Amino acid sequence: MPCLVSLLLVPAIAVAAGSQVTLPSGGSIRYSSGASQTRLEISAAGKKLQRVNLARDSTVAAKSLPSDIRIVGEIQGKVIILVDTYPSISGGMSYCQAGDEKFLRVISIAKTPPKETLQLKLGSCRQNIELADPGMEWDSASSTLRIHWLLGPSQKEKPEERTIRIGPDGAPVEP
């Protein structure tokens, strides 16, 4: 039976400096930050420790640590799908002072070194991108992500939807 999981129903896995996020398969992810990147150390079952650097855009402060990391899904031993959230850089007159910048990441761990195969902006105070409710669903049976925005990243100020199938190597396959 397919397992549909709404991003809003998945319990938040908040992270603090030096903490770990547990993977559904029993592995874990540790993180650090520097030079406008987030560094992940992935400890997956049956694999050596793997490291990958994730770029952020100019809406996130260079040394900012994630305020939240959520594991959306996993293809055991091959792919990790996560959302990392950061505080927005404040603008003038308190613009986006309490806002977020959210990124969807698909990371292939099938080979060494791991590779980020997809980065997609899910939400942004600075760029006016907003997810609907529910914003994202992961269907593990078909390895498919469904994303629903009230205000999408490619169609400014308009609703947007995408369906992305994740291949066994982590590469996205848009139907």
**What is the structure's pLDDT at 3?**
46
Give residue 66's domain range: 4-173
Smallest Cα–Cα separation from 141: which of 116, 166, 119, 159?
Answer: 166
If one counts the domains in the chain, the total is 1
pLDDT per position as a tens digit, 93-149? 767 878 999 999 999 999 889 999 999 999 999 899 999 988 999 999 999 999 999
Count of helices and strands (H, E) across the chain = 0, 13
